[in-house]
Structures are given as C-alpha cells and as structure tokens.
Amino acid sequence: MNETPRRLGVLVLGGPTASGKTELAVALAERFGAEIVGADSRQIYRDMPIGTAAPSAEQRARVRHHLVAWLDPGERYSAARFASDASHAVEEAAGRGRRTIVVGGTGFYLRALCGDVRLGGAHDPELRARLAREARLHPPDVLHAWLATRAPGRAAALAPADRYRVARALEIALAGERPDAPPETPRNLRSAGFPFVKVALDLEADELAARIGRRVDAMLAAGFVTEAERLGGEAVAADALGYPHALAYLRGWANRGELRQLLARTTLRYAKRQRTWFRHEPETRLVRGLAAFDEICALAKESLGWA
C-alpha cells in the first residue's frame, strides 16, 4: 500500500437501523483491507449485543473493530468524545497502514466526526440546572418543541420521549448561542487532515419494515428479554431502543405478542427518523439494495483512491 497515513482516506457509512450496514461494512473492509470504527451510540456499550445488534464475534474476528462493546453501560458518552475517540482510532489504523470504514446509524456522531457541526460550549452548570427545572415542570414534547426552534435537524432525529438526549441537545444549542461560550473543538477528520467520503444506505419503507420485523424476531429468539433483565433499568444505556419495552413485558404490562409488536413499531419509527436524517445530510451519497457493494467500491476507488 503506497498511500501515506494522512492520504489513506476514510469511508463513512451511515443509514437506518436494520438496513444491513454491519454486513456491508465487513464485506467492504475485507475487500479493501480496512478496519472498522463503530458509530452507534448504543453499540459502544458492553453486555448489550442482542438489543443493539452489535457486530458478532465472528464478524469482529474477521475484521478489526474499534469503539464497539467497550464502554460500561453506566457511563455517559457524547458526540464530542466520540469525535475524539474515533479520530484517534482512524489515526492509529493509518499509522499501521490500514484504511478505515466508519459505520453506524447515529447521524450526529458521524456529523461530529466529519467536523460538520459546531459542538456546544463547555459544561455550564447554571444552564444545565435551568433545563433540569424545565424538564420537571413540562412534559417531554415541550422541550422537544423548544429544541426544534433552535436546532430543527437535531430535533428531527430525536424522539420527544428521549428526555436525556433532547435535554443535552438543547443545552448544546443554547450554549452555542452565547457569545461567551467557548466552543468544544474535539479532533475530527477535517482537523486531522483525512479525506473522507460519506455514503448512506437508503431502503424503501416496505423493505426496511420487513428487515426490522425479521430482526425483532431474531432478537427475541436470541434472548433479548433476558439481556434486558440482566441490564436492568438504572444504567445510562438502559434507555436504548427496545429495552424499556422488554422491562415492561417482564413487569406484566404486555404479553409476548404485544412486546413483539411494540419493538417492531418503535424500531420502525426510529429507522424512519434516521432515514430522513441521512437523506438531508449534505455531501452524502445514497445507495440502495444489491448494488450497494459495487457502487461503494467504485466510489471509494474514485474519491479516495482505494485500489
């Protein structure tokens, strides 16, 4: 491989949950001799492989993965920290002469890594306390509507019921409006001088719904409910998609059929928001179906010089 470390380039692969990103990324990594950096805000956590659809042990044995199943479920994480951690992973791989594919469905993480977003200012205790008071006084949709007026793109990617992320996103948006708020400047691909190309899988709604249905069935068969019970409801990561529904099922609030329906419906709603996000993401090429592998290979050769 003749490229210098800074010119190896990075393939950034996004898309909605259950769209086939993991399998595609592994195949591409094997084709180009690349390593994979995960960009999923829940696959970063340990002990949650079923509910987060984390890369399997077999896939991780085939291709080296970074930022997957490495963080304690009780620890908080942020887009700024991800941008820094992922940039270091890319630099380390490049230092070994290895290309990198960043793959995941957390669009805000990918945007932070590419340097396409101004992250919020340093932690402001006064602002955070104010937002905590507002959250206690108002239902979740009020804060979500507030966020939509300040950062509509971020609001579109979050469910109103996702209290923590809505509050954090609102804190970032409001901090960014203050002229005295120093911006966070985590390392990212642009600042590190790595060329990159952004691609997103874009499936038709019917196909995505069918894939999600099959995933939910596979999760339940693999022991998702037991995994959720073992995790419990107190960990930071316990609000991940599907886990609250599994815990409600264990408390007798739903039967097995209702749980399956809830998981499929909630996951599809989330996937639709992700799909909307990536469709509106600047400089992102949308690819579909069986042609995705060949199309991305051609793009990597053309835009990054990968052979």
pLDDT digits (tens, 9 = 90+) for 11-27: 999 999 999 999 999 99
Rounded Cα distance between 293 and 22, Å, is: 12
For residue 61, give both structure tokens: 């044995």
Q: What is the pLDDT of residue 290?
A: 65
Under the banding of pLDDT at 50, 70 and 90, the label for residue 91 is very high
CA torsion, points 210, 213, 219, 222, in degrees to nearest 10?
-80
- pLDDT 10s digits, 50-89: 999 999 999 999 999 999 999 999 998 888 889 999 999 9
Name residue 121's beta-bridge partners.
183
Q: Which of 297, 305, 241, 306 is nearest to 106 (CA)?
A: 241
Helices H / strands E in the chain, number of each? 14, 6
Pairing of strands 196-201, 65-66: unpaired
Residues in a beta bridge with 198: 12, 284
Cα–Cα distance list, 250 to 98, 174, 213, 227, 242 (Å): 45, 39, 21, 12, 13
Confidence of residue 300 (pLDDT cuts 50, 70, 90): very high
pLDDT at residue 181, as a whole number:
43
CA atoms within 13 A on the CB side of 115: 14
Q: Are 300 and 197 in contact (CB under 8 A)?
A: yes
Q: Kindly report the length of the chain.
A: 307
Q: What pLDDT does 118 receive? A: 66
Least confident of 140-144, 196-200, 212-216, 245-249: 140-144
What confidence tier does 160 reach under pLDDT thresholds 50, 70, 90? Answer: confident
Q: Where residue 121 falls among pLDDT bands split at 50, 70, 90? A: very low
- Percentage of the chain surpassing pLDDT 70? 92
Q: How far apart are CA 48 and CA 98, in angstroms?
A: 28
pLDDT score for 254: 94
Closest listed residue to residue 53, CA positions, set 222, 166, 203:
222
- Closest to 263 in 3D by CA, of 95, 50, 121: 50
Per-residue confidence at 3, pLDDT binned at 50, 70, 90?
Answer: low
